[in-house]
Structure 1
Amino acid sequence: MGQCYGKTIPTTDNDTIVQPQSPLPSSANNAVKHTPARSSSPWSSPYPHGIASPLPAGVSPSPARSSTPGRRFFKRPFPPPSPAKHIKASLARRFGHAKQPREGPIPEDGAPIEPELHSLDKNFGYNKNFGAKYELGKEIGRGHFGHTCHARGKKGDLKDHALAVKIISKLKMTTAISIEDVRREVKILRALSGHKHLIHFYDACEDANNVYIVMELCEGGELLDRILSRGGRYTEADAKLIIVQILSVVAFCHLQGVVHRDLKPENFLFMSKSEDADMKLIDFGLSDFIRPEERLNDIVGSAYYVAPEVLHRSYSLEADIWSIGVISYILLCGSRPFWARTESGIFRAVLRADPNFDDIPWPSVSPEGKDFVKRLLNKDYRKRMSAAQALTHPWLSSENHPIPLDILIYKLVKSYLHASPFKRAALKALSKALTEDELVYLRAQFMLLEPNKDGRVSLDNFRMALMRNATDAMKESRVPDILNAMAPLSYRKMDFEEFCAAAISTYQLEALETWEQIGSTAFEYFEQEGNRTVSVEELARELNVGPTAHTILKEWIRSDGKLSLLGYTKFLHGVTLRSTSNTRH
């Protein structure tokens, strides 16, 4: 989403969705990015009638800050996607007139495009002694917004250490947004620490011309290069090793309240050329801090990996999970799940098309492997697994890896604590119908809370579990604030049985092929222990809906005044009320 480095090939967008089985994207030629729109304009549909591109006016593309070389050759080249015209206009708006595309910007709504050349504060407050501390070497990567070089420390703890330095030109910082992007990237890199698969940040410096971000050097190349060197795909066994590393570091970021927003094979680097080298997640140029209940509205990411809800301008951590699903799909079959010749065509495919799991090599992929990818690529973000949940999926059960604390548990328990007794009874019945596969995840999360000697947990257990995992990023994103909404646990405790009821997601269970059986079994428990006579008016209050919904709710209630099986499953599902109160504009 943003600019394309390859030659633009004129195409006519005829609304055709080209299905997968296309060659893999090159790392730079097809990396298209968008940046925060910083716009509060509503957008009810991503594809208004008569508009070729799905992106609304005012979307700003991001500086493609990548350590990837800008030119690359592949055995199976294909035409790069052609950027939509108004994306070019937004690019000019973001970066002013510095290095305009050859065709020039196309103003939107007839408005002239003026760069913000005056009153821009480009003083970041970083160290001014870069030359005294580091010696620059050869260039190892280049993007639109800067380039990356080898470096070596001259003094202190980093003396004679091989390093990587990302150099961002201040000349290209021609808008306040582009300056803020750099500040936020450094802030996130400083705040995040302590994970083996996260790029290690050392220092940030500046001078009159550039900002310098000093990081550890990864000499093993990109994950994309490894995929291509293997003929385009991994074996299931080898793919698991890669996916576990990706899930582990993303789960860590999500717990800290950081959403990456640009997960793709180009942003995972290997530490060395060794086949078993560890991977590191890089490039936090599009990342942001996010509060537990917050939703973002800026369209960011790379087109092939962008989640549907990002295009709808309302998303949270689950957008990263979709991107991991796309990476997993590519690892297992060597093709992208969504592909088209134009950027708008890619977006249509993301929103409307289903990934192909029928063509070769999918018939030879294990059922567990296919289920894993499908549960990450669910278009309903509520039905996707979290990163921590995915690590407990049966497909990865043979891998020896720790299960991290999941912020999703806190969100679900908070909702349970504020639910009515009737809703809690329905959830308790549902928890009794869970299979062993679901209980693996819940047991792991319960144990991470370190239950008391009586086998129960209180608010203190939830608080201490967060503190054991806290970084400065967690404080910046105000993750601990969710504990304030869990106050009822300060004067009572929760055993494992109730924890299971509190920490399950009906939406996620609905995505399982066994949902009908789970729902039927749960209803049997509900009939025995929780079902009671309920009026339409009371049910409406429970679901926070008005009288207009009464006709529908009547269908959920049997002749004896109690919920039917249909009513029970619908009641668990709840009614989604669209609200923009938590959306960042």
Structure 2
Amino acid sequence: MGLCTSKPHANPTLSSSPNSNPHFTDTNADEQLPKNPIPTPKKSPLFPFYTPSPAHHFFSGKSPAPATPRRFFKPPSPAKHIRAVLARRHGSVKPNEASIPEDEVVALDKNFGFSKQFEQKFEVGDEVGRGHFGYTCAAKFLKGQLKGQHVAVKVIPKAKMTTAIAIEDVRREVKILRALTGHKNLIQFHDAYEDNDNVYIVMELCEGGELLDRILSRGGKYTEEDAKAVMIQILNVVAFCHLQGVVHRDLKPENFLFTSKEENSELKAIDFGLSDFVKPGIFGVLLCILPVFQSTTVWVKIIVFHRLTDERLNDIVGSAYYVAPEVLHRAYSTEADVWSVGVIAYILLCGSRPFWARTESGIFRAVLRATPSFDEPPWPSLSDEAKDFVKRLLNKDPRKRMTAAQALSHPWIKNYKDVKVPLDILVFKLMKTYMRSSSLRKAALRALSKTLATEELQHLKEQFALLEPNKTNTISLENIKAALMKHATDAMKESRIPDFLASLNALQYRRMAFDEFCAAALSVHQLEALDRWEQHARCAYELFEKDGNRAIVIEELASELGLGPSVPVHAVLHDWIRHTDGKLSFLGFVKLLHGPSRSLAKPH
């Protein structure tokens, strides 16, 4: 459950962060959904990051079986890592574990610099929720323009903040809420206050209950049309957060609230206690100094460092049933949120989770290995477009997964009323990669873009239009800058725009037409996930043979790919070139489309 609940519950279970909101159990929910023979997982004291959602009422049964032995896991269960992180984060220790050093708990600075006027500005009402690290209550403004308006106040006792990490969690949550406020599907943030004892986060009061409650009230599932209305709101706010450079990291039905009890009430995303800014890395800076270096070896070293550091998070946080595979591998970014949205979509349409097990470790294994079922009712009666929509959100490879903005362009969603597609964060990432690609790879991408059908170009057409091209239907760096600034919040201004503009600096001296934009902004990995990928690749190779393929020696190809002299290029690139005429083979062409892989640069 999130901050702004409209009802108290008697039996809260807890989230993992000292500043995250309590989750609540509806004791009557078991009777509202069909029974499932698979028993519900209990909350493990070792996995508070993976507190089972109140949606566990989709399942019922006997007590859970003992945890599956660790030897079955590849990769290993994250249990040890989570336990260690929790001990560091909250200052809690288990028997037989090393205690947190005293100097790490003592002398913590718990002064956040927030206003000290909370009691003078608000009249506190009833408590509406309680968790281990704090509670949420209703309140109302005592004076000013908002006098009499009801709000929700999240109260976090400073006594609970026993580590520097816990303090930083609170500070970051407020920073993100302050930076992102304004989107219609995001909880409105008013202000943060503090006194000697507590931190108070004041936000909009939503009285319509959780999305989870609505799912339960409908017997566990939505119709396709009603599910679309919910998914559009979720995808809009997720795409907005991602464009600003923020990953929510705990998306689930409990963290979306309706503003009122009305059926068509707006949905609001809440609980940013586990959220974080995507780190843009240093590539934008390195790109500016790169021309100074002429050595190919230096180029490869820079690329490898960028690939390993740019925009990756490694904290294992979230809720077990909604956590993405790459989160368990501890290398993820905005795509992890999209996976969680896919799990929500699956639940909305069929009333059960795509991944479940008796234990948390079993859930992790299912997320990493299992394939969601689309054979059991009601899936056979649902549209092919609905199934394709969910499958493309739940692709285990984050590179092949749709983005939130792309999902809003999907045929299942697109025809529902007037859906406005926002700027797609992936477009800028792909353009950045394209601008630093070799001329040979750019030619290959242009050939591939020419094979796209009209419906496959639709999302790119919408993105190009959002950049507001001039009368000649071309864009420049100024168009991109203006489009980004038009949608920017403080979060984006701090990180995203400088990074994007530095990487697209070449457009300062020329303009880009739509044809080249398609080549720059298409995702080879996403096309590879489609059934018709082989057809695309073969047709593109035929075009490349006519227009761009030429005799090439291995050393030249190595130079094109940025491989240094220490790489065994003949062994690595032997199959890329046809021995009959020295031109790029089909295998080499497909690999070239993907760009130099990390394995090629690994010797550096």
TM-score (norm 2): 0.82
Structure 1 residue 244 corresponds to structure 2 residue 232: yes
Q: Is the 8 A contact 2:20 2:273 kept in 1?
A: yes
* Structure number having the greater helix percentage: 2
Residue matched to 2:294: none
1:557 equivalent in structure 2: 577
- Which residue is equivalent to 2:260? 272
Paired residue type of 2:94: P
Distance across 2 between alignment mates of 1:126 and 1:409: 37
Counterpart selection for 2:451 from 433, 438, 455? 433
Gaps of 5+ in 2: 1-8, 47-78, 281-309
Alignment equivalent of 1:63, drawn from 18, 25, 28: 18
1:192 aligns with 2:180: yes
Q: Which of the residues 226, 232, 241 maps onto 2:220? A: 232
From 335, 358, 367, the counterpart of 2:375: 358
For the pair 1:461 / 2:479, whether they are aligned, the reply is yes
> Map of 1:166-181 to 2, 5 A cutoff?
166-181=154-169
Match of 2:547 in 1: 529
Q: Is residue 312 of structure 1 aligned with residue 341 of structure 2?
A: no
1:580 to partner: Cα distance: 13
Deviation, structure 1 residue 29: 7.0
Alpha-carbon shift at residue 326 of structure 1 (Å):
1.0
The change in CA–CA distance for 1:210 and 1:32 in structure 2 (over 3 A counts) is: closer
- Give the corresponding residue for 1:474: 492
Contact residue 438 and residue 561 of structure 2 kept, 8 A: no
Please state whether the residue corresponding to 1:474 is helix, strand or coil.
helix
- Asked whether the equivalents of residues 18 and 160 of structure 2 are also in contact (C-alpha less than 8 Å), the reply is no
Question: Which 4+ runs in 1 deviate beyond 6 A?
Answer: 26-31, 578-581
For 1:204, what is the secondary structure of its paired residue? strand
Counterpart pick for 1:502 among 488, 505, 520 = 520
Moved more, 466-475 or 350-359: 350-359
Task: Please say if residues 166 and 214 of structure 1, whose CA atoms lie closer than 8 Å, have aligned partners that are also in contact.
Answer: yes
SS in 1 for 2:475: coil
Where does residue 558 of structure 2 map in the other structure? 540
Give the Cα–Cα distance (whole angstroms) in 2 for the partners of residues 264 and 174 of structure 1: 28
Q: Report the count of equivalent residues.
A: 520
Percent identity of equivalent pairs = 63
Distance 2:474 2:503 in 1: 19
Residue identity matched to 1:518: H
Q: Which sits farther off after the overlay, 572-581 or 175-184?
A: 572-581
Letter in 1 for 2:557: L
Deviation at 1:364, TM superposition (A): 1.6
Match of 1:91 among 68, 76, 86: 86
Q: Which residue of 2 aligns with 1:423?
A: 441
Alignment CA distance shift 1:481-1:126 (3 Å): same
| Contact 2:13–2:23 (CA under 8 A) maintained in structure 1 | no
- In 1, the alpha carbon distance for the partners of 2:453 and 2:10 equals 41
Gapped regions of structure 1 (runs ≥ 5): 1-25, 34-61, 98-103
Query: What letter is aligned with 1:285?
Result: G
Q: Name the stretch that deviates more: 364-373 or 86-95.
A: 86-95
Q: Does structure 1 residue 448 correspond to structure 2 residue 485? A: no
Query: Are 2:208 and 1:220 aligned?
Result: yes
Q: Distance in 1 between matches of 2:238 and 2:127?
A: 28
Query: Residue 160 of structure 1 aligns with which residue?
Result: 148
Residue 139 of structure 2 corresponds to residue 151 of structure 1: yes
What is the distance in 1 between the residues matched to 2:245 and 2:10? 28
Match of 1:569 in 2: 590
Letter in 2 for 1:112: S
Closer, same or farther: CA 482–579 of 1 in aligned 2, 3 Å: farther
| CA pair 288-305 structure 1, distance change in 2 beyond 3 A | same
Give me the whole-angstrom Cα distance separating, in 1, the residues matched to 2:123 and 2:499.
43
Does the 8 A contact of 1:117 with 1:175 survive in 2? yes
Aligned to 2:44: 82
- C-alpha displacement at 1:496, in angstroms? 0.5
Cα offset, 1:120, TM superposition: 0.7
Residues 1:121 and 2:109 aligned together: yes
Equivalent-residue separation in structure 2 for 1:529 and 1:196 (angstroms): 48
Give runs of aligned pairs for residues 40-55 of structure 1, distance below 5 A.
none
Partner of 1:321: 338
Moved more, 227-236 or 424-433: 227-236
> Which of 272, 282, 296 is equivalent to 2:270?
282
* Corresponding residue number in structure 2 for 1:406: 424
Post-superposition offset of 1:370? 1.2
Deviation at 1:353, TM superposition (A): 1.4
Closer, same or farther: CA 89–432 of 1 in aligned 2, 3 Å? closer
1:90 to 1:523, Cα distance in 2 relative to 1, 3 A:
closer
TM superposition score normalised by structure 1: 0.84
Gap change, CA 1:529 and 1:372, over 3 Å in 2 = same
